[in-house]
Structures are given as structure tokens and as C-alpha cells.
Amino acid sequence: MDKIDRRIIKTKESIHKAFLRLLQSKEFHMITITELAKEANIDRKTFYLHYNSIADILKEFETGLAGKVLTLLKKDQTFDLNSFFQGLNAIMMEDIGLYRRISESTSYAFLKTKCKDILKNTIKESFYENSSMSPKVFNVYAEYIASGIIGIYTNWLSTNSGMSLNELTDIAIDTVSNGWSRIVK
């Protein structure tokens, strides 16, 4: 049983890596199963043992990302913004090529929205219960924070600002904590 599980994991990792490589040169909707299988060094039949379509790979990515962010937000009893951003950085660095591609291409706007929604929904799931805000008000705050964080990372990934990830993290933490008051000073 262990050998089968390891083979499945290895095959899925191969497919995932091949998908990321292909995304570097092609738009998502232009990637075919045949070329993905060839890039992953597997048969088309093997692909279909694990996925029904290319979109399934993205769905698996989204589900995994949501789980990672939720784990990150529930990791500590007391929430620490620095630890949260360090965790987001670690998640992003696992698939930096994919996140860079999402950030640079307008055809991936739907994925930026999905990333924002994942973050927003995990913020709601993790913090709403202990909040004194109404659902409508909490939703506005969660939307603002999630949109801002995704915007910060998107801008950093798609521009050559010369800013290190550590510098970005420090500024992002300050922005989330003190944003408007810093601007209007």
C-alpha cells in the first residue's frame, strides 16, 4: 500500500511540476493533456488516472492553498501578523513561478480573484466567531484585508521593484496594521 501511495504522490508531483513549467511559456487554456503528459514523462492514460482535465490540477491547487492558509491562520492560539506573513511567504515560495505567472498575466485574473477569495474566506472562518461585528461589516473588513494582501503580493511579483521579500513583508505588516493612518499623517 505504501509503495502505491508513494507512486501516486510522485506522479502527481511530476504532473504539477510539468504544469508549472508549461505555464511559464503558455496560457493555461492553451495547455493540452498530451503536452502535459509528455512534459511530465507519463502516458495520457496515467494522467487520466489522477485527473479528468487540466482544470482539475488548478482545482487541486486551490484546495491545497485554502488548506495551507487555513492551517496558517489556526496555527497559533494568539494571532501574530508577522508569523502570518512569514507563512504566506513560505506558501508563495513553494510555487513562486505559478504566483509570478498569475500576477503578470491578465488572463489569470480569475486565479487572483480565487486567491483573494481563499484568503478572505479563511479570515472569515478563523476570526468571525470571536468578532463583535455583524456579518456584513466583517465581510467588508475581510474583503479589504484580503484584497490588500493579494494586491501587495501581486504588485511585488509582477514588477521589478528591487524590494526584497523581507522588505515587502515588513511593509505589508505595517500596511495591514497602520495603513490609512500612515498615509494621512
Q: Residue 34's pLDDT is what? A: 95
Q: How far is CA 37 from CA 11, 28, 81, 112, 168, in A?
A: 10, 15, 41, 26, 37
Using pLDDT thresholds of 50, 70 and 90, give the confidence band for residue 159. Answer: confident
Q: How far is CA 67 from CA 47, 55, 73, 107, 123, in A?
A: 24, 18, 10, 25, 12
Same domain, 45 and 86: no
- Whether the full predicted model's pTM is greater than 0.85, yes or no, is no
Nearest CA to 180 out of 136, 142, 153, 145 is that of 145
Distance, CA of 114 to CA of 165 (rounded, Å): 22
Same domain, 140 and 159: yes
Here the CATH number for the domain that contains residue 114 is 1.10.357
Distance, CA of 8 to CA of 93 (rounded, Å): 24
Residue 12 lies in domain: 2-52
Q: Residue 77's pLDDT is what? A: 59
Residue 67 has pLDDT above 80, yes or no: yes
Here the CATH number for the domain that contains residue 13 is 1.10.10.60
Distance, CA of 140 to CA of 8 (rounded, Å): 41
Q: Residue 20's pLDDT is what? A: 82
Distance, CA of 53 to CA of 153 (rounded, Å): 29
| Mean pLDDT, range 15-21, rounded to an integer | 88
Using pLDDT thresholds of 50, 70 and 90, give the confidence band for residue 118. Answer: confident
